[in-house]
A and B are shown apart, each in its own frame.
Chain A
Amino acid sequence: MTARAYALSDGNSFYCSCERVFDARLARVPVIVLSNNDGCAIARTPEAKALGIGMGDPWFKIRDLCKAKGVRVYSSNYALYGDMSARVNAVYRDFSPRIEVYSIDESFLDISDVRVADRVTLARDMRETVRAWTGIPTCVGIGATKTLAKLANHVAKKNPELGGVCDLTDPAAYDHWMARIPPEDIWGVGPANARKLGALGCESAADVRDLDTRAVRKAMTVVGERLVRELRGEACLDLEEVAATRKGCAVTRSFSDRVEDRATMEQAVAAHATRLGEKLRREGLGTDHVTVFFHTSEHDRTRPQRSVSTVVTLPESSNDTLVLVKAALHGVRRTWRDGFRYSKAGVVTTDLLPLHASQRAMPGLGQLDREQGAALMAALDACNRRFGRGAVVPAAAGLATKREWSTKFEMRSPRYTTRLEEIPVVAA
Chain B
Amino acid sequence: MQVHGITIGFPIPLPLLTRPVRAGFPSPADDFVEEEIDLQRLLIVNRPATFLVRVAGDSMVGARLFDGDLAVVDRSLTPRNGDIVVVDVDGERSFKVWRRQGPRITLHFANPRFPEYRLAPDALVKVWGVVSGSVCARRRCE
Using a CB–CB cutoff of 8 Å, the interface residues on chain A facing chain B are 24-25, 27, 86-88, 90-91, 129, 132-135, 416-417, 420, 423-428
Contact = CB atoms under 8 A, between A and B. Distances in A.
24 contacts: A24-B91, A25-B92, A27-B91, A87-B49, A90-B47, A129-B76, A133-B46, A133-B48, A134-B48, A416-B51, A423-B70, A424-B54, A425-B56, A426-B71, A427-B57, A427-B92, A427-B93, A427-B94, A428-B55, A428-B56, A428-B57, A428-B58, A428-B60, A428-B95
A395 B71 CA distance: 39
Given A132-B75, A132-B76, A135-B75, A423 B49 contact: no
Interface of B: 8-10, 46-49, 51-60, 65, 67, 70-71, 75-76, 86, 88, 91-95, 128
Contacts of A424: 51, 53-54, 93
A423 B8 CA distance: 13
A37 B93 CA distance: 31
B47 A425 contact: no
Nearest to A88: B48
Contacts of A427: 56-57, 59, 92-95
A426 B75 contact: no
B75 A134 contact: yes
A162 B10 CA distance: 42
Interface of A is mostly: helix
B58 A134 contact: no
A427 B96 CA distance: 9
Contact of B53 (A86, A87, A135, A423): A423
A254 to B, nearest CB: 33
Given A133-B49, A420-B8, A425 B75 contact: no
Contacts of A420: 8-10, 52
A428 B56 CA distance: 6
Nearest to B57: A428
A427 B55 CA distance: 6
B76 A133 contact: yes
A195 B66 CA distance: 64
Nearest to B86: A426
Central interface residue in A24, A88, A426, A428, by most chain B CB within 10 Å: A428
Contacts of B56: 425-428
B54 A423 contact: yes
A24 B129 CA distance: 13
Contacts of B70: 423
6 shortest A-B CB distances, which residue pairs?
A133-B49, A428-B57, A87-B48, A90-B48, A24-B88, A428-B95
Contact of A417 (B51, B60, B65, B95): B51
Central interface residue in B48, B53, B54, B67, by most chain A CB within 10 Å: B48
A91 B65 contact: no
A425 B8 contact: no
Nearest to A130: B48
Given A423-B52, A426-B93, 16 more contacts: A24-B88, A24-B92, A24-B128, A25-B91, A91-B48, A133-B46, A133-B75, A134-B49, A420-B10, A424-B53, A426-B86, A427-B56, A427-B57, A427-B59, A427-B93, A427-B94
A246 to B, nearest CB: 27
Nearest to B73: A426
A21 B70 CA distance: 18
A132 B75 CA distance: 6
B64 to A, nearest CB: 12
A428 B93 contact: no
Contacts of B51: 416-417, 423-424
A426 B53 contact: yes
Contacts of B59: 427-428
Nearest to A25: B91
A222 B126 CA distance: 52
B30 to A, nearest CB: 27
Contacts of B57: 427-428
A425 B91 contact: no
A391 to B, nearest CB: 16
Contacts of A87: 47-49
Contacts of A27: 88, 91
Contacts of A91: 48
B97 to A, nearest CB: 11
Contacts of A423: 51-54, 70
Contacts of A88: 48
A424 B49 CA distance: 15
Contact of A428 (B10, B46, B65, B128): B65
A70 to B, nearest CB: 14
Contacts of A134: 48-49, 75
Contacts of B76: 129, 132-133
